Structure 1
């Protein structure tokens, strides 16, 4: 009987121990927590879990109190912007100061700049608490690769870095006999027809920035020719950027609302390549590793076509728990918060369960000792393969460019693809290519500094202009298709 009791006890222990451990590591429930914080974020579940758990431990160590982290995830930054717009409008009408949320965490710098411009963010205490962290020659520079890492009014601050690049499937590329994409231009190669995965820039500020960088790269190339007047070079580069977007979009299988769908479909072989943010590409590369060390997903930054953009954090005006919100920002910039971004799971200071595959913003964490246990063993501050973003060239056209993609590429995708297919069958006749590439309806002189109607507050006027522009582009595509069919051989004219 004693032996039986021991065996039963051991079995109970084996069953109960994982449950007990899971409860010890699980977030405290909202009704039992001493404190709470609400965070509005587009970050994925892995980041939310690891940062929520680590901040709770950090808070408990410093205050002796438990905390419940209430994550609010309405979607990407575009959806978050709509939530904030509606919330602050309602707050103003009812005399409230805030929207019942403490922190805005993650997204593109333009999204945070816009919220700051609207007066919805408050100055961050971390700049007063740790002035030694910020500024040129310090661990968080004010800017790098032309990207602003914190503004002069200190209403937001970057806490990690992102790069947009290209995820590709080597097996599909071999089948298509297509080269490994090394530059943005490569995604416009006709060999990628129907095999490129793209995301909708109107749904994501980060994706919109990738399209902006693509256009600016073309402009900067043109500016290298000193014999061409600056204004002519800028206009020519703008046109070439828009034309590249048309070719990429003609190759696109779809425009997804979910950026994580792109590396997933690339890994499954449903797409050969696609525009992909670095941490999604690296995550799928790791998940799809083969025994020989190769992977079904390879990610790379485009040569000379990517900057290091910040993913910021900010405290919202009228935050219900302002002191805790400010502490969360301090945690994100602390050594503990920074090491979470690229530490290997289980490594000192790293995440517990899954790697985040992100680059910290603090330069001092790229020490040899820390890099030895990091999932990304590269220092962005010594990377020679990036270019310097010039906000004056395209910064004001950020929203205008995302509207161009919607109007000329997403809403017109059937006509765009039919023209591309007909042109390919006919060997890309010059007259058809000229019609297809006609972007004269969207010149830099009119749209390069933003457009008051297309980006304006009158939705009806904006819709009317978008409709007119869309018809211009669709007419171009129909003309390109007709010219291709008329110049093709009889065999090539068959549908």
Structure 2
């Protein structure tokens, strides 16, 4: 009987402990001004942006603001959500208010920028673009420029008005905000989205594992190119994430392909100049070389995971020797692991001239319920005050409160010697990195 009681107590404790340890969720203050955002950003980013914006908004207006974060998943899930929500809400308007017919063909044409004037669905498309049908969300914040560009063309994003409010950010030979560099677009020339922080892509490594495999890590990360991930010494020691499940890993593979194709084309210049190869033949060879490199790296893989963040975590724990990841995953995990162990256990390296610098944008959604507040939020993110949050160390003047975010600001004027004193990546040079590599979008 006594044993049964102990079993029951243990079971009760097992059931109760998760509730006792559960982090208390912050309630939305419905008496404050409301801003609704859909975002793939992690909790650290959401927390720091929210705390800083609340203070900024109160100083600016004397009012309080509450941020309602809608976390439906990653960027791919957000895009699917936006598409279905806008289509459903417009259908309700089109059928019930306009008394028009609906069809599956119209649903596909509604957000398609290729819908032409001679299409039977042109009128519906124009009604959407000229109207203000919304989905109860103000902002799309975070993700890749490619997805934001698609949403802008679809019509779900509307002009932010940044150029009108802050023309000084775009003036001069070296403007504060740069439109594009290295083949990457950092803000929309039609004002529908703006990059607010930079991302690059690279290789994370576990120093101890590499040394066991015969690498010399005394001078820093010995893996300085994508091709080195195909080294036979790394067999069963590489962690790979599925590029079809992660936008950041998809971009890593794209950078690898771009670099290898450029290397192959460079090696074929003599044959191209002599006319022994056509441009298309050279491109075919370059593509084949890139695919073969991916196969070789895949042959070294210990696993293929759905989670992009698993790779740097496993590198920190020594379960793999190396892997590909986005910069802020690599840098943040390296900082944590090195601080915990008190030694240089993990390194992150962006291969020179082998990665673009892409921007994570913000954009105002069509039919935003709080458009003026949304515009203030966009201005805040692009201001010096908002930009310092991305790479200043936690607790530094003007930096985040609790979490170092390990991202890089898009403002050119925030890379001064004074700023670098507080940065988690004081040697970062995204403009130099972007200028050293030209992204070929046509490929």
TM over 0.5: yes
Q: Does 1:223 align with 2:265?
A: yes
Aligned-residue RMSD, C-alpha: 2.1
Task: Identify the residue that residue 199 of structure 1 maps to in structure 2.
Answer: 241
Shift of 1:137: 1.9
Separation in 1, partners of 2:85, 2:330: 34
| Cα distance in structure 1, aligned partners of 2:192 and 2:162 | 10
CA distance in 2 between counterparts of 1:337 and 1:31 reads: 23
Deviation of 1:367 (Å): 0.9
Are the structure 2 counterparts of residues 385 and 128 from structure 1 closer, same or farther at C-alpha, using a change threshold of 3 Å?
A: closer
Larger deviation: 232-241 or 376-385?
A: 376-385
CA contact (8 A) 1:56 1:67 kept: yes
Which residue of 1 is the match for residue 72 of structure 2? 74
Gaps of 5+ in 1: 1-25, 395-495
Q: Is the 8 A contact 2:393 2:404 kept in 1?
A: yes
Indicate the residue corresponding to 1:164 in structure 2. Answer: 201
**Per the alignment, in what secondary structure is the counterpart of residue 269 of structure 2?**
coil
Structure 1 distance, partners of 2:241, 2:349, is 17
The answer as to whether partners of 2:357 and 2:434 remain within 8 angstroms in 1 is no
Instruction: From 207, 219, 223, give the equivalent of 1:181.
Output: 223
| Alignment: residue pair count | 368
Counterpart-to-counterpart distance in 2, 1:349 and 1:60 = 17
- TM-score normalised over the length of structure 1: 0.71
Query: 1:114 and 1:369 mapped to 2: Cα distance?
Result: 38
Question: 1:88-115: CA deviations, max 9, x gaps?
Answer: 2212211281222111111111111111
Provide closer, same or farther for how the CA distance between residues 337 and 31 of structure 1 changes in structure 2, counting only shifts above 3 A. closer
Alignment of 1:137-286 (within 5 A): 137-178=174-215, 180-224=222-266, 225-227=268-270, 228=272, 229-286=278-335
* Separation in structure 2 between the aligned mates of residue 76 and residue 162 of structure 1, nearest angstrom: 16
1:64 aligned residue: 62
- How far apart, in 1, do the equivalents of 2:340 and 2:192 lie? 47
How many angstroms apart in 2 are the aligned matches of 1:271 and 1:195?
Answer: 5
SS of the residue aligned with 1:289? helix
Return the TM-score normalized by structure 2: 0.79
Q: 2:151 aligns with which of 115, 120, 125?
A: 115
CA contact (8 A) 1:158 1:361 kept: yes
Contact residue 252 and residue 325 of structure 2 kept, 8 A: no
1:312 paired residue among 347, 353, 361:
361
| Cα displacement string for residues 47-68 of structure 1 (whole angstroms, at most 9, x for unaligned residues) | 1100011111111110111111
Instruction: For residue 34 of structure 2, give the secondary structure of its aligned residue in structure 1.
Output: strand
CA apart distance, 1:383: 4.0
Q: Give 1:319 deviation, angstroms.
A: 1.2
**Partner residue of 1:55?**
53
Conservation of the 8 A alpha-carbon contact between 1:260 and 1:280: yes
Shift of residue 294 of structure 1?
3.3
Query: How much does 1:249 deviate?
Result: 2.0
Mapped to 2, the partners of 1:89 and 1:30 lie a distance apart of 28
Unmatched segments (≥5 aa) in structure 2: 1-23, 94-131, 217-221, 273-277
Q: Offset at 1:266? A: 0.6
1:101 counterpart residue number = 137
Instruction: Tell me the SS of whatever aligns to 2:239.
Output: strand
Higher relative contact order, chain-length normalized (CA < 8 Å, sep 6+): 2
Q: Distance in 1 between matches of 2:25 and 2:385?
A: 18
C-alpha contact (below 8 Å) 2:35/2:374 kept by paired residues: yes
